[in-house]
Chain A
């Protein structure tokens, strides 16, 4: 149900086809700028509104159009398939302006055909050819040119080498040694182009006793293999006495392939650091290896260090954080509300809010001598006591009420939001954390925006989404290899490239 042009429209979903009808977004328009920055809005840090005006004028996503690109002129060859690490890495580079060419095998990256629960109904169709592609691929392969090139053929590798002479970065995630065997590994490519930065993404590594391997039928290792080997899964989830083991009380993986995502981000930093070193010092590229297990282990707090400290193995604590009090989400009347406030200043403000409705409970916390000090509150008993009393308050508050009451005292609080609620959350709509992209091939697509989209000089932007297979063969082969359509057709017959049919 939404409002458009003053009249209400209703969408009833009884069939899969109904979902294809155009739906208004956002259903509720965010408030206008004038209203948000109105003089009566309490704004102690910026009473004259100068700072707000400066930010709106310079940093806002609305001003991003036409600004320059940070990585303009960088050529990246993205040969990754299946996994998410290379996809994320390439997308971040491409959103910042690099020319990223996604080189796919003739049948395409398998990621194109990974539909949620195998439901092909959820495919996006190319308006011109009807070619289907999965929402994952659409979302993760942004601003990339799509080229098909069969690297298993001699001819294909020859063309790839010619491309590499002009490239700055190569990304790949084939099983260890595959590219080396094909004669296009770092050893060989760095001779053609010593300035090349070559990145391999994987789960556990190209070398070492537990390195990446394939099954005997050639199946790759994919996320969450790396997550399981990084200690993350072991310590995520609800402990078995809060939920029975068959009903969620066991270790949980992340909903998304975050091991790959983190490896992709870490790899991107490594690329940019190597680029900095190449440009300023050595004039030479290097070989980089980013694996999900290690990159995720890096950000897994102090877990391994703690084991070295006294042999403790971090346990699961569900929605609570064992390190900070308060810092958790707990159930409330209509879902879950997250409240955070560790320092005395914030912690007692939370109590003040609770005391308005439950003075008895608040007193139990406020008077307890063991809860008077910031760190002492983190003891397990402190957590149990604090969260039990907070949850009692929550049981009588909805997410929205709780959030409003906490935020009015400057306590950080936020509801656990579902995907549809995020799509309509006023702040996110105003800032375009989620946005609609009008793609030439797929029409209106709703996506999450790059977090680097708010910058003064070189914001990241989405130009297009995952492209149909081999769409840019003509353009890329002509620009970098001088191969025109006639020769391309010949190559297609030889099984080296695939033609994009319109």
Chain B
């Protein structure tokens, strides 16, 4: 079967035969092979893979969304009427997209639902009903993988846990995602992203130290949901690779707190060997110096009505940790004494040195705007980037030409600006087709057209409130 398909690429991307591709400069070559405009001309990596997403919030839906971006057919199962609680979630209760849902007729679905449910098909099913079990088995029989996030044992009680489903479909890759996992003393604890951040270790090392007046700082996005969902997808796809050889499915018991713990770098070896408890170190770096974020005196547009632009867009990331770079930086800010004092890399990274160096940098920047600081440092041949807000990203050519952000012309919601064109793949790039759909909008497509249930039966389910 390997390579035996009639594979006819839409244009010749084979570097072996393309003379021209070999001669052009490397950057041009990259532009060609990664061209975001050709995304929909190219095939999908996971075509034919079917995934059931019995999920809520961000963590477990993101597994399905990632697979769907790579081309899998993903069926999201929600509770009838209410749907995913994330549909009712929006920052400060502000941003909602139409059309309406049954549950909240005047509002629509909130932006919290965005990006974790791309390209999915939305069906509804009330697992509590007896008929639902058979329906679910039918779905599982024709699916390759499943992700769920209910508390441990809930699916088992409903008759659709891993022990039961592996009898229905032994090839099924079953992912459970949650906070504390399926076994252990606190297995029944609920979990959220912020819980993972709090007790997994990420909070302990993020933000300013209390000696500077800081508190543990929450990562603004639901990082532990998103990033754990991705990590579990690794496990799922690796299991798919294994299944191809052996035909065996598996169950992944995924704890998002563990993913947070995994992302703490050197903290645990340091504690285990030396008994040193790693603390927060603000906007500076514990391994490199200068490699941190400084505040400048002014913003570029102090008159703008939005405080995020007129007040907050005033931070710059400066990186000059190698000796020559640091020397150049010291001369640039008129403090050659700092270079004399901290000539060696090791000396510079010491906490006292960092405090002195960054204070000097901020002093130098105190009468300059953000772009002046970035320009001055870049013109000296060093590295500095502004701390970009959404506006800066929207206005940068870079992310547009790379296709990182894009207006998706959603069939239902009109224009939605999306930011999730993450990895660039030359042959099978991931893509967004639609951002989401209303609750149960694909009931007929899945139950009738895919599973072949007659419409009369679906009507009966509808009346009973099962779908």
* Least CB separation from A297: chain B residue: B419
Are B427 and A269 neighbours in the complex by a CB distance under 8 Å? Answer: no
Complex: A204 Cα to B387 Cα, angstroms = 13
Contacts of B427 in A (CB 8 A): 274, 277, 282, 284, 286
- What is the CB-to-nearest-CB distance from B333 to chain A, in angstroms, rounded to a whole number? 16
Chain B binder among A145-153, A259-267, A356-364, A489-497:
A259-267
Q: A237-B207, A261-B263 are in contact. Are A299 and B201 (CB under 8 A)?
A: no
| 8 Å CB contact of B322 from A138, A217, A430 | A217
Contact A331:B382 (CB < 8 A) given known A71-B238, A255-B205, A416-B204: no
The answer on a CB contact under 8 Å between A117 and B394 is no
Q: Is B11 an interface residue (CB 8 A)?
A: no
Q: Is B181 among interface residues, defined by CB-CB distance under 8 A? A: yes
B side interface size, CB within 8 A: 206
Contact of B452 with A by CB under 8 A: no
Within 8 A of A (CB), among B222-250: 222-223, 226-228, 230-235, 237-242, 244, 246, 248-250
Judge whether A235 is part of the interface by a CB distance below 8 angstroms.
yes
In the complex the two chains form, what is the Cα distance from A118 to B11 in whole Å? Answer: 52
Q: When chains A and B are docked, how far (Å) is the Cα of A6 from the Cα of B193?
A: 39
Indicate if the CB atoms of B251 and A455 lie closer than 8 Å. yes
A-B pairs with beta carbons under 8 Å apart, 11 shown = A19-B276, A247-B213, A253-B293, A254-B219, A258-B263, A272-B237, A294-B423, A299-B223, A299-B226, A329-B216, A380-B92
Report whether A272 and B238 are in contact in the complex, using a CB–CB cutoff of 8 Å. Answer: yes
Contacts of B88 in A (CB 8 A): 374-375
B410-435, CB < 8 A from A: 415-428, 430
CA distance A124 to B272 in the complex (A): 11
* Assembled-state Cα–Cα distance A247/B213 (Å): 5
Residue from A273, A427, A448, A451 in contact with B180 in the complex, judged by beta carbons closer than 8 Å? A427
| B444: Cβ under 8 A from any A Cβ | no
A322 CB–B CB distance under 8 Å:
yes
Whether A427 contacts B252 by the Cβ 8 Å rule is: no
Instruction: Please state if B46 and A273 are interface contacts (CB–CB under 8 Å).
Output: yes
Q: Counting CB contacts under 8 A, is A128 at the interface?
A: no
Interface pair A219/B383, CB less than 8 Å apart: yes
Q: Is the CB of B383 within 8 A of A134?
A: no
Smallest CB separation, A345 vs chain B (Å): 10
A198 to B427, CA, bound (A): 12
Interface residues of A in 380-407 (CB under 8 A from B): 380, 382-383, 407
**Which of B111, B265, B423 is close to A302, meaning CB atoms less than 8 Å apart?**
B111
| B91 interface residue (CB < 8 Å to A) | yes
* 5 further A-B pairs in the complex, CB-CB below 8 A; given A11-B275, A19-B276, A31-B185: A238-B217, A286-B425, A423-B271, A434-B268, A451-B262
Q: Which of A30, A232, A311, A346 contacts B306 (CB 8 A)?
A: A311
Contact partner of A276 (CB less than 8 A), chosen from B237, B272, B313, B417, is B237
Say whether, besides A243-B215, A304-B394, A445-B273, A457 and B242 are in contact (CB < 8 Å).
Answer: yes
Is A8 on the interface with B (CB-CB < 8 A)?
no
Which residues of A lie under 8 Å from residue B268 when comparing CB positions?
139, 419, 423, 434, 446-448
* Chain B minimum-CB-distance residue to A317: B220
Nearest A-chain residue to B213, judged by Cβ: A247
A25-B272 in contact (CB<8A):
yes
Interchain nearest-CB distance for A402 vs B (Å):
12
A468 close to chain B: CB less than 8 A = no
CB distance from B168 to the nearest CB of A (A): 15
Contact of B34 with A289 in the complex, beta carbons under 8 Å: yes
Whether B272 contacts A447 by the Cβ 8 Å rule is yes
State whether the Cβ of A473 lies closer than 8 Å to any Cβ in chain B.
no
B248 to chain A: which residues have CB within 8 Å?
A: 457
Q: Give the nearest-CB partner of A378 in chain B.
A: B93
Residue A270, interface by CB 8 Å: yes
> Do residues B417 and A309 form an inter-chain contact, with CB atoms below 8 A?
yes
Contacts of B183 in A (CB 8 A): 52, 55-56, 59-60, 431, 454
In the complex, what's the smallest C-beta–C-beta distance from B44 to chain A, in angstroms? Answer: 8
B194→A327 contact, CB < 8 A: yes
Residues in chain A near residue B238, CB distance under 8 A: 70-71, 96, 272, 452, 458
Q: Is the CB of A229 within 8 A of B393?
A: yes
- In the assembled complex, the Cα of A50 lies from the Cα of B159 at a distance in Å of 13
> Interface-forming stretch among A101-109, A156-164, A334-342, A474-482?
A334-342
Query: Which residues does chain A contribute within 8 Å of B421, judged by CB atoms?
Result: 294, 298
Mask for A226-263, Cβ within 8 A of B = 1, else 0?
Answer: 00111111111110100111111011111111100110
Is the Cβ of A45 less than 8 Å from the Cβ of B153? Answer: yes
Those of B316-338 within 8 Å (CB) of chain A:
317, 319-322, 324-325, 328
Instruction: Assess the B405–A412 pair: CB atoms within 8 A.
Output: no
- Assess whether B281 is in contact with A255, with CB atoms less than 8 Å apart: yes
B128: Cβ under 8 A from any A Cβ: no
Given contacts A323-B91, A446-B269, contact A234 B217 (CB under 8 A): no
Instruction: Flag if A313 contacts B227 (CB, 8 Å).
Output: no
Complex: A294 Cα to B419 Cα, angstroms: 8
Min CB gap B65→A, angstroms: 10
Determine if B371 is an interface residue (Cβ-Cβ < 8 Å).
Answer: no
Expressed in whole angstroms, the Cα–Cα distance for A218 and B70 within the complex equals 36
| A262 B242 Cβ-Cβ under 8 A | no
A140 to B274, CA, bound (A): 18
The answer to whether B398 touches A208, judged by C-beta atoms less than 8 angstroms apart, is yes
Q: Are A308 and B239 in contact (CB under 8 A)?
A: no
Q: Which residue of A has the minimal Cβ distance to B359?
A: A246
Is A305 at the interface (CB under 8 A from chain B)?
Answer: yes
Decide yes or no whether B254 CB sits under 8 A from chain A: yes
CB-based contact B3/A379 at 8 Å: no
Q: How far is the CA of A20 from the CA of B311 in the complex (A)?
A: 49
Complex: A454 Cα to B91 Cα, angstroms = 35
Docked Cα-Cα span, A229 to B425, in Å, equals: 21
Task: Say yes or no: B269 contacts A419, CB within 8 Å.
Answer: no
Please name all residues of chain B whose beta carbon is closer than 8 Å to the beta carbon of A50 when the two chains form the complex. Answer: 156, 163
A433 CB within 8 Å of chain B: yes
Distance in angstroms between the alpha carbons of A433 and B258 in the assembled complex: 5
Most chain A beta-carbon contacts within 10 A, residue among B227, B253, B311: B253
A127 interface contact, C-beta 8 A: no
Tell me whether A136 and B266 are in contact in the complex, defined as CB-CB below 8 angstroms, given that A70-B242, A117-B286 are known contacts. Answer: yes
A86 within 8 A of B: no
B360 at the interface (CB under 8 A from A): no
Give Cα A52–Cα B153 distance, bound, in whole angstroms: 8
**B residues in contact with A455, CB < 8 Å:** 235, 239, 250-253
A422 surroundings in chain B (CB, below 8 A): 199-201, 204, 261
Question: Are A283 and B163 touching (Cβ within 8 A)?
Answer: no
Flag whether A301 is at the interface (Cβ < 8 A): yes
Contact B390 A306 (CB under 8 A): yes
| 1/0 contact string of B371-386 vs chain A (CB within 8 Å) | 0000000000111011
Q: Are B239 and A70 in contact, CB atoms less than 8 angstroms apart?
A: yes
Q: Is the CB of B387 within 8 A of A233?
A: yes
Contact: A20 with B273, CB < 8 Å?
Answer: yes
Residue of A nearest to B426 (CB): A287
Q: Is B388 touching A228 in the complex (CB atoms < 8 A)?
A: yes
Task: Give A432 Cβ to nearest chain B Cβ, in Å.
Answer: 9
Q: Contact check: which of A303, A328, A431 meets B194 at CB < 8 Å?
A: A328
Docked CA distance A245–B293 (Å):
13
Instruction: Report the Cα distance A135→B266, complex, angstroms.
Output: 5
